[in-house]
Amino acid sequence: MGRRTRTAVLAMGLVLGCGDSSEGAGANGAGGGGNAGHDPGGGGGQGVGGTAGAGGADAFVGVGHIALSKLPYLEAGEPMLFDGLKASFYGSPEDDTGCSGLPAPPGCHVRVCEREVSFEPAAPEYVDAGTLTVTGGAFPVEAVQRANGMYEEEFDQLLFEGGEQLLIEVEGSGEVPACSVSLVAQSGVTVSAPDFDDPALTISRDEPLRVTWSGGENGEVFAILSQIVIEGDIRRSIQLDCVFDGEAGTGELPASLLSELAPPGTQVQSQVFAVVGMSLASSLDSAPWLVNASTQVTASTPTGATAVRADFTVE
């Protein structure tokens, strides 16, 4: 198994949210929005809604997230595919000052953060969980904590195609108990609606948004919309997402969620709309820690482009 030594520049770093104590339990076993809404696009990238398992981590002393991903990035302006592992373990919740979850239909989450532009959230206190190992894919993986507190490994070949039974084992340490998580790798997802290939892609704040896809039968499909808006000296970030059964082939983001997007004429600092296939699982033997794992695959369009857009119009 080869491993790239360079650091990928992610076009959109989709990393798992926390399901922290500021959110309640989501539908289908998913946790609350967690970190998904904390300054989208900053500090390592866009969040992707809650994790599997119990909602709210307030009953736990620490939280761990392990993500095996196939995600796009740019190299010298050329689109490439990141295939790798990202994980973190921390004993303190992330700073959610100024953030709150809004009412949402089952299976969906809305999280809004309103903070001064100068606000810097406190960094989580990362801890060492020992060596992480992954088996069941195209090659075995081992990862150890890096100097930045994270676990980060990039592969030069695909770890999974979809359907593989993966076993993720956490060696454990003085702070994190040894545990394991088993899950089926998510397969590829092709989105046929909305048309991500349309240069004039438009999203209405007043009408439901229907998402239609093929594939994704090994897990769930997430549709994620987020914006960062500057209003005077306040930065307002919003993320809304809905999770659908991958076998359903279609799902709808209701207008009640989309109405939270900034109206036309607002100064939008950044935004993103993406569809991601995921399979999610939680450890059953990690108490008093909550350890979640996922496989994540950015969906594609019928032309082979990624189902990720930042240049859409809201009306």
* DSSP output for 135-188: ESSSS-EEE---TTS-EEEEBSS-S--SS-EEEEEE---SSS--EEEEEEPP--
Q: Is residue 8 part of a domain?
A: no
Q: Is residue 2 part of a domain?
A: no
Q: Is residue 124 part of a domain?
A: yes
Q: Is residue 13 part of a domain?
A: no
| pLDDT on residue 72 | 61
pLDDT band at 93 (very low <50, low <70, confident <90, very high): low
Q: Is residue 158 part of a domain?
A: yes
Q: Average pLDDT, stretch 281-289?
A: 88
The tens digit of pLDDT for each residue in 202-261 reads 999 999 999 999 999 999 999 999 999 988 899 999 999 999 999 999 999 999 999 999
Q: Is residue 14 part of a domain?
A: no
| pLDDT on residue 61 | 83
Give the mean pLDDT of the chain: 79
The answer to whether the CB of 222 falls within 8 A of the CB of 241 is yes
Using alpha carbons only, give the angle 246, 252, 255 rounded to the nearest 5 degrees: 155
Using alpha carbons only, give the angle 47, 53, 56 rounded to the nearest 5 degrees: 70
The tens digit of pLDDT for each residue in 24-76 reads 222 222 222 333 322 222 223 333 333 333 334 456 789 999 999 987 655 55
| pLDDT on residue 190 | 96
Q: How many domains does the chain have?
A: 1
| pLDDT on residue 211 | 97
Q: Is residue 244 part of a domain?
A: yes
- The distance from CA 173 to its chain's CA centroid, rounded to whole angstroms, is 26
pTM tops 0.85, yes or no: no
Domain span at residue 105 reads 27-314
Q: Is residue 20 part of a domain?
A: no
Extract the tokens encoding 154.
Answer: 């990039």
Check pLDDT > 70 for residue 297. Answer: yes
Q: What is the C-alpha to C-alpha distance for residues 65 and 16, in angstroms, rounded to an integer?
A: 7
The tens digit of pLDDT for each residue in 109-154 reads 999 999 998 888 877 889 999 999 999 999 999 999 999 999 999 9
pLDDT top residue among 18 and 277: 277
